[in-house]
Amino acid sequence: MEYWHAISIKEVYKKLNTSEQGLDESEVKARLKKYGMNDLGKLKAKNPFLILLSQFKSLLIIILIIAMIISFLIGHILDACVIFAIVLLNGIIGFIQEYKAEEIIEKLRESLDYKVFVFRNNQEKEISSKFLVPGDIIVLNEGMKIPTDCRIINQHNLGVNEAILTGESFPIDKTSDIIEKDSILAERKNMLYAGTTVVRGKCLASIVSTGRETEFGSLAETVQQTREEKMPLEKKIDEFGKIVSFIIIGLVIILFFVGIYLGMDKMEMFLISISLAVGAIPEGLPAIIAITLAVAIKRMYRSDTLIRKLPAVETLGRTTLICTDKTGTLTEESLEVDEIFVGGKFYTKNSNTEKNILQILKIGVLCNDARDEQGSVLGDPTEVALIKIAKIFGIDKKIETEKNPRIAEYSFDSERKMMSVIRKYGEIKTSYVKGAGIEILKNSTKEFVNGRIQLLSNERKKELKIILHKMESKGLRVLGFGFKQIPSSSEISQKNSENQLIFVGFQGMIDPPRKEVKEAVENALSAGIEIKILTGDSEKTTKAIAERLGLHGEAITGQELDKIPKDNEKQWNDIVRQKTIFARITPHQKLKIVEILKKQKHIVAVTGDGVNDILALKKADIGISMGIRGADATRDASDMVLLDDNFASIIKAVREGRRVFDNLKKSIKFLLAANAAQIFIILFILLLRWPLPFLPLAILWMNLVTDSLPALALAVEPTEQGIMKKKPRKDGLLSGIWSWILIAGILNFVSVIILFYWALGNFSLEIARTMAVSAAVLFELFFAFSCKSEESLFKTGILNNKWLLYSIVISAGLHLLAVYTPLGIIFQFVPLTWNQLGISIVTGLSGLVVFEVWKIFKRR
């Protein structure tokens, strides 16, 4: 690692074999071969075939593929075709969503190919930034994006916005002086970094690294090496697949050997066992999950939230903690005057206009280089803020500057820490001065109070210093303002314009919170979601913003974190658990914090817009980047993109995620309860040596008719009331539903067995089988209503989900079609009389009645 900030310009030239005249073209060609073009390339370019292939890596999908192959080999072609269609549908839905997300990301990608001025053969010329090489000498002016990492040769009033790299919200004043070797990146004020922006001034700089060798590029490279984390939903589906497969295969093996023991034909028993295994596995679940998530993603996209991976929706719903950066995510990333102190009183932008405040606002626009062009104010963010606050109180820069033409200007520098502009009004020459509050006070001998000028005593200066420190302790960037009239006989000079000033007051600025964020934070906290701020900005500023948003808690800085031994896990755990604000932290510290939170069993969402956030985004359970302010590399590393950069959109997405999680549990509850009963009915009938009530094709029919449509309809249930008042769900998809599955399975089992026994004694075997299958189908369809909510249907109603009504009517209609048309011959169904059908319907209603009565008593 080269410490470019810690060596002189001469040493920089020597190491890079360059000079202030720049490189010649032959040398540039050689260096382009050696270092390559100045671009990052495309991060982790995704091959469409690999995106499609990745849709089939779930354990449940693999189990279904095995079931499909077995079905095909034993001649159950219809079963095999149905499973194949479901697996394919699941893959296509996932592929379309991920591929579409990649296309949108590509459209969002900002090109790094822009024009810059560079010295070649001692001549200044304009070239594309991608042809820059180490050793090039470039010229940078206000408004330019910095294309590479550079060492400053010389500069004039240079200020750079480094928020995208460090998280620092205020512009950084730059210098060409040597900086201490051990300085952290945010303190290397003689360096310029790729991706940051010049907000004022100009400079000459030598390029020290390009492309992947820049700070920006090295973080991008680290992302490439970071292992892709499986999302919680992917883990849960794999876990679900293992449990369900183990249970079903175990029961089917028991069933097979019981049948053999009881003297059943081995081949017949094998076919029945395989049919039950295929039928009992909820083959529709992957497609239901995929469709449910795709529908949710479409809804979220309408609200400017782009989900790049299907499982991210559900992960959001179970998020327990959000790690957010500050600048541009919680805040506007633009400075605003928050508080003004003049003549013993404080004012805000909502205060009434008084003569007392007008003088400080007037100084703010007259000692100012920002431009007000057709309502858009351009320039240094600090000076832009001064013009905007003056406008609120009716002071227009253009009018004031025309009345007071400029005579001379002495620009801000890091030694004086102030700026002065001399203007003329008639014959009167006045120096208007702004700068660091303490410096303005030092250079002042009088004070402007209520339109009158009075002497500024040492005691009064002490009082003003206390006020200054109080304003700074609120996280404000405070500027002092003064003026003086210059006698016509006096020489115009910097010294004359900036000494013996009349002190007017202070203006304190802050990067304000985004308007919608406070409510979003409140909603997150009431939903049981913790919020921690991880930022490169200062502790004071971050605490001030946090307080305004209702986030209370202790803060710690990156410097303090550095003092903690890396192997002291207890201390790290305690600090990460206890602290709310982590200020001035490095990307690697941010990554470590996220790793610790995950070890503490949190489902962690991390937000960010700069390359300093990439490592943490990649490690998080769900990484959330900004679509407008976000760096290309950051979006590439994320699972979700806020297209409007609106923090409040995260909470909307969490709400949608919780809805998805709840509804998936409803679908799984329905699917497993229906399928489990079939195995127990067959097993019990075998033990009694009765004829089988369900034949292999009838089992397939029941799964086709009763499973897919109602389960899919349950997955789009409306959001239940109070969903954002509950704590995040840390349980899995199977947690809390086993009692429902068991009770529904027993009820289904008992009702079908009783009906089949009665029908065998009164009708033919074909009628008994048709009645048993009809009762089982109707039991499951009616049970779908009970799965809608843990609340009684008397409270929720059945009309709020039209898709569930449609699905039950269609499924019931299909079954009746099979019973009363020649289609029934395939499944060995026979037409039932109205009485027989009525008895089957009443039997099927048993589950719904029992569950609704249970819900009422449970609630009481």
Mean pLDDT of 275-286: 64
Percent above pLDDT 70 for the chain? 86
Distance CA 669, CA 744 (A): 9
Mean pLDDT (the chain) is: 83
Output the CA angle 822-825-827, nearest 5 degrees. 125
Distance CA 222, CA 587 (A): 11
Fold match between domain 4-35+113-146+149-209 and domain 336-510: no
pLDDT, tens digit (0-9, with 9 covering 90-100), for 121-138: 888 888 888 899 999 999
With H, G, I as helix, E, B as strand and everything else as coil, classify residue 96.
Answer: helix
Of the options 2.60.40.10, 1.10.10.10, 3.30.70.260, 2.70.150.10, the CATH number for the domain spanning 4-35+113-146+149-209: 2.70.150.10
Q: Are strands 501-510 and 554-557 parallel, antiparallel or unpaired?
A: unpaired
Domain boundaries, the chain: 4-35+113-146+149-209, 278-301+655-859, 306-332+514-652, 336-510
Mean pLDDT of 633-650: 79
Q: Which of 16-20, 437-441, 607-611, 742-746 has the lowest mean pLDDT?
A: 607-611
Distance CA 125, CA 119 (A): 6
pLDDT, tens digit (0-9, with 9 covering 90-100), for 556-571: 998 899 899 888 899 9
Catalytic residue list: 325
Distance CA 423, CA 432 (A): 8
| Cβ neighbours of residue 435 closer than 8 Å, sequence gap 6 or more | 412, 416, 417, 418, 419, 479, 480
In the structure, what pLDDT confidence band is assigned to residue 646 with cuts at 50, 70 and 90?
A: confident
Q: Which of 65-69, 217-221, 396-400 has the lowest mean pLDDT?
A: 217-221
Q: Which of 372-381, 501-510, 669-678, 831-840 has the lowest mean pLDDT?
A: 669-678
Output the CA angle 296-640-323, nearest 5 degrees. 115
Write out the DSSP string of 307-345.
ESSTTHHHHHHT--EEEE-STTTTB-SS-EEEEEEETTE
The single-letter code of the amino acid at 618 is K
| C-alpha to C-alpha distances, 549 to 255, 409, 537, nearest whole angstrom | 61, 40, 17
Mean pLDDT of 837-853: 90
Distance CA 198, CA 157 (A): 11
Q: Which CATH architecture has domain 278-301+655-859?
A: Up-down Bundle (1.20)
The single-letter code of the amino acid at 857 is F
pLDDT at 112: 42
Residue entry with tokens 């693999």: 62
Homologous superfamily assigned to 336-510: Calcium-transporting ATPase, cytoplasmic domain N (3.40.1110.10)
| C-alpha to C-alpha distances, 258 to 416, 495, 686, 746, 761, nearest whole angstrom | 94, 104, 8, 20, 25
| C-alpha to C-alpha distances, 450 to 11, 362, 434, 828, nearest whole angstrom | 56, 15, 20, 100
| Listed residue (513, 542, 788, 639) closest to 232, CA to CA | 639
Question: Which of 9-18, 212-221, 349-358 shows the highest mean pLDDT?
Answer: 9-18
Q: Which of 300-309, 359-368, 389-398 has the lowest mean pLDDT?
A: 300-309
Mean pLDDT of 805-811: 91
Residue 91 has pLDDT above 80, yes or no: no
Q: Is there a contact between 804 and 784 (Cβ–Cβ < 8 Å)? A: yes
Of 346 and 267, the structure prediction assigns the larger pLDDT to 346
Distance CA 555, CA 296 (A): 37
Q: Is there a contact between 196 and 130 (Cβ–Cβ < 8 Å)? A: no
Write out the DSSP string of 260-292.
HHTT--HHHHHHHHHHHHHHHS-TTHHHHHHHH
Residue 241 has pLDDT above 50, yes or no: yes
The single-letter code of the amino acid at 250 is G
pLDDT, tens digit (0-9, with 9 covering 90-100), for 14-57: 999 999 889 998 999 999 999 888 876 654 555 677 667 766 76
Could you tell me the end-to-end alpha-carbon distance of the chain, in angstroms, rounded to an integer? 69
Write out the DSSP string of 764-813.
-HHHHHHHHHHHHHHHHHHHHHHTT-SS-HHHH-SSS-HHHHHHHHHHHH
DSSP alpha helices (H): ranges in 421-516?
A: 437-442, 458-473, 494-498
Q: In 667-742, which ranges are E strands? A: none
pLDDT, tens digit (0-9, with 9 covering 90-100), for 432-478: 999 999 999 999 999 999 889 999 999 999 999 999 999 998 889 89
Q: Is there a contact between 627 and 641 (Cβ–Cβ < 8 Å)? A: yes
As assigned by CATH, the class of the 306-332+514-652 domain is alpha beta
| Cβ neighbours of residue 385 closer than 8 Å, sequence gap 6 or more | 334, 335, 336, 337, 509
Torsion of CA 485, 490, 493, 497, to 10 degrees: -20
Distance CA 224, CA 4 (A): 26
With H, G, I as helix, E, B as strand and everything else as coil, classify residue 684.
Answer: helix
Q: Which of 85-89, 141-145, 617-621 has the lowest mean pLDDT?
A: 85-89
Residue 699 has pLDDT above 90, yes or no: no
